[in-house]
Amino acid sequence: MFDLYRRLRRRLRGREARADGGVVNEGDASEAGPIGRASAALDRRFGSDFVESSPFWLPPFLLMALFVYGAIIWNLLISLTDYQGFANAPDYSQLDFEMYTRALSDSGFIDAAVNTLVLLVAFTGITLAVGLLLAILVDRGIRFENGFRTVYLLPMSLSFVVTAQFWLWMYNYNNGIVNLSIGTFGLGPVNWLGNQDIVLWAVVFALMWQFSGYAMVVYLAGLRAIPSAHYEAAQVDGASALKMYWRVIIPQLKGATISAAVVLMVFGLKAFDFLYSLVGGYRPPNGADILATKMVREAYANLNWSYGAAIAIVLFLMALAVIGPYLVYEYRRDNL
Amino acid sequence: MSDARTGGNTTSRADRLVRAAEKLTVERVLLYVVLLGMASFYLIPIESGLVTSIKTSTAVIETVPFAPPGPSGFTLQKWQQAVDALLFGMGNSMLYAVPATILSAFIGSITAYGLTMPTWKQAYKAPLIALIVAGIFIPYQAVLVPLTQFWAQYVQLGQLLGPLWALGISNDYAGIIELVVTHVAYGIPICTLLFRTYYKTMSKEMIESARLEGATLRRVYRRIVFPLSGPMFAVVLIYQFTQIWNDLLFTLVLVSTESSPAAPVVLILAGLGTSLEGQDFALRMAGAFLAALPTLAVYIFFGDEFAEGVAA
């Protein structure tokens, strides 16, 4: 059986396997079998190692493409159906945009979309600013630099599920540290998670706590890449430290800012885990509902599958608006 | 002679002290005050969680959150409770996190190798790589409903693995296998990207000469590239393990209930310590630390590699 397979393979490939696992070409391509000829043609088109390298990247690529892009297209299809409730599978015979018009007339959806945008912009902006300040401070030739860096990065090693527990305790109305510390200034107490005008900012602050260390690491690498001559030139010109950073150093951190911002926005889009763990359920505190939580709630708690799928498509388009330009930017710089 | 040398040493030491004191300007002191202040900002939520987890319920209410408990307020009972509640879930998490981590690291390595080392046209490679990189950033909500459909309607592991359940294993464990496959599939983009950045800097000469001597791509990978990938494997394994261990969304969708025997630790933790009487914060904190223990251990032992992976 195995021998038959080997002979068949040899015929088809027009090649002979060597005992040590190497392969030698047998004669010209003209004498090779049909697959050999096809592979030679492919190699001519795509490059000399194309066919031989394909077993390495093609199966993983297909698996990834099925789960990522196949699923997104499938999701788009489901969002066009009326799939809901306990039915096993959607009915694909009738497709329309009903779910999208429903979303536009759903005030909960509009609120969630606005909250998502506010969360993304505020979280990314504040985290970048804190990270940059930290990076500038750490870069001033301090002692115990590694120690400080480790401490600043520590929250990032924790998961949203865990940090949500910590911040639930920090924001506790009667005994939380946040209320205790503003109490020493005669302020508060504030119901951080119960007041729907504040809760989103409380979440932004907690997320900033978790990821500003990451922004610092990226900025630190960016600062170290700037030649010291630039600092010296600015100092010779008599510029103050503040002016030097604003005019000379920060403009050169564009690349670091872009890559950190993209990653932070992706973390922001994944804030679902944090909000879910904060309340231990699908319904986040009033005023902190974002598209990610609304999508999962509609689909898995209310069984409005196709409505959830439609919200997911909106969320995906928002992510695409961030990542698309970034990928084009990286492609132009030949960084892919 | 020896006296003179000691004398010289003391003056230089004194010199150094003087110089250090001169450097210690007001600005310098302020810098360290700010740095230490920020360090406590990052540590206080964690520290207060830790001390709260070893307090009795009365001590939780009566003492300041970040102060350690007095001898009368100290108890390990909450940790005991957390271990009882979470230990099995941690076992379940290990069951999918370890195989999924190893598989996705290995697959990421061969994918990156196939897309980096062999010579074929960049014009065709670049779109493939762009598609893979874009896969890192998609919000997983966009694939959840199809994912549920895929596992519930098309690949019904619960039925395919019938013989396993006959052995007395709960068929909820089909969810664990689904989690492995799912995490591997969605882990391919980031693992490939990490390995690719590493392989791009690897010396091409050795590989080219091996190729000229007729070595196959498989042989080059096995003999040259794989043995040299050690450092990057460390980064990717750490990163993937943390990601998979911490992920809540997929476990919520694929395993669904925290009462299931196959429930992973994150799922149980999200609902731990909440009851009608209110929230048991000491228990929640103990549970949070227990669940974070594996990733914290990884962070403390491999902190530098973690920072490297984060920056990449």
Q: What's the average model confidence in pLDDT over B257-268? A: 79
The answer to whether B248 contacts A134, with C-beta atoms less than 8 Å apart, is no
Confidence bin at B308 (pLDDT 50/70/90)? low
CA distance A44 to chain B (A): 10
Domain stop point among B26, B47, B73: B73
- Predicted confidence at residue A206, as pLDDT, reads 92
Whether B69 and B81 map to the same domain: the answer is no
CB contact under 8 A, A56 and B111: yes
Q: How confident is the model at residue B106 (pLDDT cuts 50, 70, 90)?
A: very high
CA distance to partner chain A, nearest, from residue B124 (Å) = 7
* B152 and B270 in a common domain: yes
Tokens in use for B159? 């039925």
Partner-chain contact A55 B246, CB within 8 Å: no
- Which residue of chain A has the CA closest to B136? A266
Nearest to A305 among B35, B140, B145 (CB): B145
Dihedral sign for Cα atoms in the order A219, A220, A224, A229: positive
Whether residues B185 and B208 fall in one domain: yes
The token pair that represents A261 in the structure block: 């911002």
Residue of A nearest to B250 (CA): A273
Q: Which residues of A touch B34 (CB under 8 A)?
A: 137
Which neighbouring-strand residues pair with B74? B55
What string of DSSP letters covers B160-228? HTHHHHHTT--GGGHHHHHHHHHHHHHHHHHHHHHHHHHHHTS-SHHHHHHHHTT--HHHHIIIIIHHH
Model confidence band, residue B165 (pLDDT cutoffs 50, 70, 90): low
State which residue of chain A sits closest to B308, comparing Cα positions.
A217
Q: What is the mean pLDDT of residues B153-165?
A: 71
Q: What is the CATH number of the domain that holds B91?
A: 1.10.3720.10
Same domain for B162 and B26? no
Same domain, B203 and B181: yes
Contacts by A321-329, CB closer than 8 A, 24 or more apart: A322/A262, A322/A265, A322/A266, A322/B137, A323/A262, A323/B134, A323/B137, A326/A258, A326/A262, A327/B130, A327/B133, A327/B134, A329/A258
Q: Which of B57, B73, B89 is the last residue of a domain?
A: B73
Say whether A137 and B134 touch across the interface (CB within 8 A).
no
pLDDT, residue A128, reads 93
Domain endpoint, select from B31, B53, B73:
B73
Taking all residues of chain B, what is their mean pLDDT, rounded to a whole number? 80
DSSP secondary structure string for all residues of A105-151: T-HHHHHHHHHHHHHHHHHHHHHHHHHHHHHHHHTTT-TTHHHHHHH
Asked if B145 lies within 8 A of A213 by C-beta distance, the reply is no
Out of B65, B126, B307, whose CB is closest to A331?
A: B126
Q: Which ipTM was obtained for this model? A: 0.80
Q: How far apart are CA B245 and CA A159, in angstroms?
A: 9
Angle value at C-alpha B53, between B49 and B56, nearest 5 degrees: 130
pLDDT, average across residues B250-262:
79
**Token pair for residue B196?**
């690719």
- Name residues 51-110 of chain B within 8 A of A (Cβ): 52, 60-61, 64-66, 107-108, 110
Domain that holds residue B139: 77-311
pTM of the shown model:
0.80
Residues B31 and B170 in one domain: no
Both B67 and B81 in one domain: the answer is no
Token pair, residue B284, equals: 């929640």
Q: Are residues B166 and B207 in the same domain?
A: yes
Per the CB < 8 Å rule, is A157 touching B295? yes
Same-domain status, B53 and B171: no
Q: What percent of chain B has pLDDT over 70?
A: 83
First to last CA, chain A: 45
Closest CA to A20 of B223, B79, B60: B223
Please indicate, yes or no, whether residues B39 and B87 belong to a single structural domain of this protein: no
Q: Which residues of A42-81 are buried (b: 16+ CB within 10 A; e: fewer)?
A: ebeebbebbbbbbebbeebbebbbebbebbbebbbbbbbb
Say how many domains are in chain B. Answer: 2
* d(C-alpha B248, C-alpha A305), whole Å: 20
Dihedral sign for Cα B75, B78, B84, B89, please: negative
Q: Is the Cα dihedral A324, A326, A328, A330 positive or negative?
A: negative
Indicate whether B144 and B204 sit together in one domain. yes
Same domain, B285 and B150: yes
Q: Which of B30, B33, B119, B120 to mutate to test the interface with A (most CBs of A within 10 A)?
A: B120
Q: Which residues of chain A have pLDDT under 50?
A: 1, 14-30
Helices and strands: H and E segment counts in chain A: 16, 2
Collect all residues with Cβ–Cβ distance below 8 Å to B143 and sequence separation of at least 6: A67, A68, A71, A72, A75, A312
Which range has the top average pLDDT, A203-207, B210-214, B266-270?
A203-207
Confidence of residue B4 (pLDDT cuts 50, 70, 90): very low
- Among the partner residues B217, B274, B310, nearest to A53 by beta-carbon distance: B217
State whether A170 and B129 contact (CB < 8 Å): no
Residue A23 with chain B: CB contacts under 8 Å: 216
Q: Which two tokens stand for residue A48?
A: 């000399």
**A173 or B120: which carries more pLDDT confidence?**
A173
Mean pLDDT for the stretch of residues B284-297: 86
CA dihedral for B269, A271, A109, B249, sign (positive or negative): negative
Task: Please provide the size of chain B in residues.
Answer: 312
Whole-number pLDDT of residue A131:
92
